[in-house]
Every structure is written in C-alpha cells, then in structure tokens.
C-alpha cells in the first residue's frame, strides 16, 4: 500500500483530528514538520506513490 501526497496529507489530518484539544496544536506542528522534512529528503514527485506500508 502506498500514499500519494494528497492521501498522505489526508491521513495525517485524520491523525490530527484524533488528538485531544490540548494536544491539537502540537499535532499540527508535528504534521507540518513531518511533511516538510519528508519533502526536503525525498521530494514530492507529481503523482508518485510516497510511502509503501
């Protein structure tokens, strides 16, 4: 199974929604940092599958 960029963002958004109200800001920041680090390391080729699970 793999994720496109859009699917990865939707998946991470779902995880953020599961965070408690007290931790939601931390979850959003962690999501943004993960995406930034991932893009810097691997890039986001158009239409490519990013992660294989």
* pLDDT tens-digit series, residues 12-52: 999 999 999 999 999 999 999 998 888 888 776 655 556 55
**Total domain count for the chain?**
1
Domain with 8 in it: 2-52
Distance, in Å, from the CA atom of 22 to the CA atom of 49, rounded to the nearest integer, reads 33
Please give the model's pTM, rounded to 2 decimal places: 0.74
Distance, in Å, from the CA atom of 51 to the CA atom of 53, rounded to the nearest integer, reads 6
Joined tokens for residue 7: 């699917």
């Amino acid at each position: 199974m793999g994720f496109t960029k859009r699917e990865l963002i939707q998946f991470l958004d779902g995880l953020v929604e599961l965070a408690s109200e007290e931790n939601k800001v931390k979850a959003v920041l962690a999501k943004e940092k993960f995406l930034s680090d991932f893009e810097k390391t691997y890039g986001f080729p158009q239409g490519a599958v990013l992660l294989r699970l």
